[in-house]
Chains A and B, each alone.
Chain A
Amino acid sequence: MGQKRFEKQQKQWEQEVEKATSRFPERKDAFTTSSDIPVDRLYLPEDPDEHYVENLGFPGQYPYTRGIQPTMYRSRFWTMRQYAGFGSAKETNKRFRYLLEQGQTGLSVAFDLPTQIGYDSDDPMAEGEVGKVGVAIDSLKDMEDLFDAIPLDKVSTSMTINAPASVLLAMYIAVGEKQGVSKEKLTGTIQNDILKEYIARGTYIFPPKPSMRLITNIFEYCQQHVPKFNTISISGYHIREAGSTAVQEVAFTLANGMAYVDAALESGLKVDQFAPRLAFFFNAHNNFFEEIAKFRAARRIWAKMMKEHYGAENPKSWKLRFHTQTGGSTLTAQQPDNNIVRVTLQALAAVLGGTQSLHTNSRDEALALPTEESARIALRTQQIIAHESGVADTVDPLGGSYYIEELTDQIEKEVEAYIEKIKELGGAVQAIEEGYMQREIHQSAYEAQKRIESKEDIVVGMNEFQIDEELNAELLRVDEKLEHDQKKNVQNVRNTRDESKVNDTLSRLRNAAKDEKENLMPHILDAVKAYATVGEICNVLRDEFGEYTGM
């Protein structure tokens, strides 16, 4: 029985390989080790049992434990996507062009906190924060500068933006139009994951209900007009950074994912209309094998959920595609060069876990934003893994390891128990409002801290193997003058635009916001094109939706 199904799976996989390689040939005609030993595309058990057929199968096949593509990195490496952005749009534009020249294959925009929370740079709440953790975007004018001379039909752009995701997406669409690139051709991702903002990251604006509406509005709008854009990146990254365990990271992320699916279904969308555009974002921490198993387990759980629970029929809806970033909270301020080694191990875990794209952190991020040199080493780390280590030459090289498979099964079991618990609480939104996830994460964070302080956990260079060190590494500083300049810029935009058009579009947005049935995206797009600012648009929505004030 097992054997028969296995042969059927294998045949199907071979056909898919055939199809995939005819479109994207593999990187080499033949892969070999240094000793000329041939490296196969995939290694399989000699005696596949029912458990194997049911839970592992073949890459590119349900439940995708061994990867979502039939040939994985034999055809194409993961996308090397370094998150960047600081200061002004013009300055960030220069860094983007530098990164593209260095061989980076996608852009990833970091916005400053005022932009992420919907304040203009001259808002009193923005004081001291302008351009600090990312680029300051106030109006379409800044977005035009940000992508100056970067053709939007040639790059895919990931934007870490959540509460005002609709506004920044609208700006991206508008820049595309000005470049002559139609909406249908735009590729990229908006993070747009508000639930983890309440849980862990903190850049929320509105209460959960209207926030969920904005998200489903985006799903619907993009499904019709921007079909190649990933409309959400459901993120475990920040949950992990806030101190969760690997199991909690997957459990809470997938629980949030279910909440978005439920909301979209409730708004009248069909699961296969939006599910193929859902993307995920995970962390890669230090516990090497656990991290690898975590990625494999997450794929399997999501696939089963989408197929069995939600009844999705399109295989694209079953596939959990994810971006990975190495773990910022694992970096130490002490002996920062050690962080290069940590990042290498974490990046390797992500690759062995089958990530679709990867950001590697820079060694100096426990101290400040990365310098250009540190950012280059981080990118080189990925390139070394890709081009020198050979780990990308066969699909899922650790599949079948007793340890990895047992860990994968165990993580799956524990994640399912958490998801069950969250269901009992009434779903992710309810659990968040009750502070359940927050408490669980905080408990894990505190226990981790105690283990470090009692030296039960050793952090090299921090609580053991310390040295007396000179602590004056060269760090990147954001010029304090920038805030002043950016304030002038936004005031300048306000003085030169057609004010009546701005008022008109904003009042139409306000009316649309009052009507729950109305999709807000077209109205936001109109306002953006009239050079209404992020702050102005968000303030209209604040008036209508109210603000979330935390627990």
Chain B
Amino acid sequence: MDRNIRVLIAKPGLDGHDRGALVIAQALRDHGMEVIYTGLRQSPGQIARAAIQEDVDVIGLSSLSGAHRTLFPKVIAALKEQNAEDIPVIGGGVIPYEDIPYLEEQGIKKVFTPGTPTDTIARFIQELVDPDAKKVTEPPKKIAHIGIAVQKLDDVMSFYHDILGLKLKGIEEVPSEGVKVAFFEIGETSIELLEPMNDDSPIQKFIEKRGEGIHHIALEVQDIEERLKQYKNQDVPLIHETPKAGAYNSRIAFLHPKAANGVLYELCEHKGE
């Protein structure tokens, strides 16, 4: 989305309890949304008009007086009358659970009952407004490692270990990729040295084509499977469409270098992190 999500928080009817409405308005602002609060005593028609004028992406209704069964559906009806039924409406307040199916039937997208964390509401709105945003709500957290292709580990180990003084985390063979790797810890990330184990190894091919040097950047992510599906839907060129086993009990997948104008990126999800 190229602009912030805009939300109208509204108090239909005569109810004066707006602590919840105000707290949610503030929380959504803290989530980067633009929030317009109508103030008290708004009629369904006024709420619909305000939503249209303010060009909001979603309307949040709050009622603690028991009038929700009458007033929430009236807001939906008022939106329809003004040809704005595409604006989704959510609600909350003191609403008995048994009323929720009725309200949802009437077109309320979701009813949040007391005790719902504001984060949950913010996430719901983000996904409601931009369904594509669903799986990438969390950007990659950090650089997991930087991969460097080397012909022989033994030839370069002393630079990293003795000269730079980095701590060697370990050496491991990854037969699926035909590589032997050495990890050096540096801050919260690492440097991964990759040595081809045989002539068919992609690393061997890389070295033959472009010489030794930086091979890829690995990004630490969550939900690697979902994310790959999502990227595929967004036409991101992939080398691996499903994750495979990586070093240190991780699951990895490579994006095609075309995805980032020649830089090879690896996605990497560590279990238990």
Q: Does B23 contact A (CB under 8 A)?
A: yes
Query: CA–CA, A7 to B70, complex, Å?
Result: 66
CA–CA, A333 to B94, complex, Å? 9
A550 to B98: give the CA distance in the assembly, Å: 34
B117 at the interface (CB under 8 A from A): yes
Assuming the A-B contacts A332-B114, A367-B94, are A117 and B14 also in contact, with contact meaning beta carbons closer than 8 angstroms in the complex?
yes
Stretch at the interface among B1-9, B61-69, B158-166, B202-210: B61-69
The answer to the question of A57 belonging to the interface, with a C-beta cut-off of 8 Å to chain B, is no
Residues of B within 8 Å of A446, CB to CB, are: 22-23, 26-27
Binds B, one of A24-32, A125-133, A499-507: A125-133
Of A329, A478, A480, which is within 8 A of B19 by CB? Answer: A329
Asked whether, in the complex, the Cβ of B69 is within 8 Å of the Cβ of A480, the reply is yes
Chain B residues, CB < 8 A from A462: 115
Closest to B11 in A: A202
Beta-carbon contacts under 8 Å, B210-234 to A: none
Cβ of B67 and Cβ of A129 under 8 Å apart? yes
Q: Is B32 an interface residue (CB 8 A)?
A: no
Q: Is B167's CB within 8 Å of the partner chain A? A: no
Q: Which residues of B16-33 have CB atoms within 8 Å of chain A's CB atoms?
A: 16-19, 22-23, 26-27
| Residue pair A203, B65 in contact (C-beta under 8 Å) | no
Task: Report the Cα distance A459→B70, complex, angstroms.
Answer: 32
Chain A residues near B70 (CB, 8 Å)?
Answer: 127-128, 480
- CB of B15 closer than 8 Å to a CB of A: yes
A227 contacts partner chain B, Cβ-Cβ < 8 Å: no
Task: Decide yes or no whether B175 CB sits under 8 A from chain A.
Answer: no
In the bound complex, what is the Cα–Cα distance between A442 and B70 (angstroms)?
29
Residues of B within 8 A of A459 (CB): 115
A113 to chain B minimum Cβ distance, whole angstroms, is: 4
**Residue B198 is within 8 A (CB to CB) of chain A in the complex:** no
CB distance from B147 to the nearest CB of A (A): 37
Which residue from B17, B113, B117 sits with its C-beta under 8 Å from A453?
Answer: B117
**Option from B22, B27, B39, B65 in Cβ contact (under 8 Å) with A113:** B65
Inter-subunit contact A202/B19 (CB<8 Å): no
B56 to chain A, nearest CB (A): 20
Once bound together, how far apart are the Cα atoms of A127 and B23, in whole Å? 27
Q: Which residue of B lies closest to A329 (CB)?
A: B19
Which chain B positions have C-beta within 8 A of A551?
39
Q: Does A491 contact B (CB under 8 A)?
A: no
**Is B132 part of the contact surface with A, judged by Cβ < 8 Å?**
no
Tell me whether A202 and B43 are in contact in the complex, defined as CB-CB below 8 angstroms, given that A128-B70, A132-B67, A472-B97 are known contacts. Answer: no
Tell whether, in the assembled complex, residue B71 and residue A128 are in contact, meaning their CB atoms are under 8 Å apart: yes
A463 to B26 CA separation, bound complex (whole angstroms): 20
B115 with A550: CB separation less than 8 A: no
Q: Is A392 an interface residue (CB 8 A)?
A: no
Q: Is B81 an interface residue (CB 8 A)?
A: no
Q: Which secondary structure characterizes the binding site on chain B?
A: loop
Interface hits, B97-150 → A, CB 8 Å: 97-98, 113-115, 117-119
A366-B94 in contact (CB<8A)? yes
Give chain A nearest CB distance to B124 CB in angstroms: 15
A214 at the interface (CB under 8 A from B): no
CB distance from B102 to the nearest CB of A (A): 12
Least CB distance from A123 to B in Å reads 10
Contact of B40 among A128, A202, A242 (CB under 8 A): A202
B272 within 8 A of A: no
A27 to B184, CA, bound (A): 81
Docked Cα-Cα span, A127 to B67, in Å, equals 8
Give the distance in Å from the alpha carbon of A369 to the alpha carbon of B94 in the complex: 10
Q: Which residues of A contact B88 (CB under 8 A)?
A: none
Are B19 and A132 within 8 A (Cβ)? no
**Total contacting residues, chain B, CB less than 8 A:** 32
A429-468: CB near B (< 8 Å → 1, else 0) gives 0000000000000100110010001000001001100000
Q: Identify which of A124, A128, A334, A550 contacts B69 (C-beta below 8 A).
A: A128
Whether A197 pairs with B16 at a CB distance below 8 angstroms is yes
Q: Does A490 contact B (CB under 8 A)?
A: no
Question: CA of A445 to CA of B118 in the docked complex: distance in angstroms?
Answer: 13
B10 to chain A, nearest CB (A): 13
Please indicate which of the listed interface residues A114, A201, A368 has the most CB atoms of chain B within 10 Å of its own CB. Answer: A368
Contact flag A133-B115 (CB < 8 Å), given A126-B14, A472-B97 = no
Does any Cβ of B come within 8 Å of A67's Cβ?
no
Annotate A245-274 by CB proximity to B: 1 below 8 A, 0 otherwise: 000000000000000000000000000000
> How far in angstroms is the closest Cβ of chain B from A477?
8
Nearest CB in chain A to that of B113: its residue: A333
Q: CB of B96 within 8 A of chain A?
A: yes
Contact B23–A243 (Cβ < 8 Å) = yes
| Contact status B67-A453, CB under 8 Å | no
A37 within 8 A of B: no
B96 and A475 within 8 A (CB): yes
A129 touches B65 (CB 8 A): yes
Confirm or deny: A1 has a beta carbon within 8 angstroms of a beta carbon on chain B.
no
Judge whether B96 and A113 touch: CB under 8 Å. Answer: no
Contacts of A127 in B (CB 8 A): 13, 70-71, 74
In the complex formed, the residue of A with least CB distance to B12 is A128
Across-interface contacts of B98 in A (CB, < 8 A): 472, 475
Cα separation A241 to B118 with both chains bound (whole Å): 19
CA distance in complex: A549, B38 (Å): 12
Residues of A close to B13: CB separation below 8 A: 113, 127-129
Chain A 95-135, CB-CB to B under 8 Å as 1, else 0, gives: 00000000000000000011011010000111111001100
Picked from B40, B67, B74, B118, the residue with its CB within 8 Å of the CB of A449 is B118
B43 x A132 contact (CB < 8 A): no
**Distance in angstroms between the alpha carbons of A284 and B162 in the assembled complex:** 67
Question: Can you list 13 residue pairs at the A/B interface with Cβ under 8 Å?
Answer: A113-B15, A125-B41, A129-B13, A133-B66, A202-B18, A202-B41, A242-B18, A243-B19, A333-B115, A368-B66, A445-B22, A478-B66, A550-B40
Given A113-B14, A127-B70, 18 more pairs with CB closer than 8 A: A113-B13, A127-B13, A129-B67, A202-B17, A202-B40, A203-B14, A203-B16, A241-B19, A332-B115, A334-B115, A368-B94, A369-B66, A442-B23, A445-B22, A449-B118, A453-B118, A480-B70, A551-B39
Q: Which 10 A-B pairs have the closest CB atoms?
A: A202-B16, A128-B70, A113-B14, A128-B67, A132-B66, A471-B97, A333-B114, A462-B115, A129-B67, A242-B19
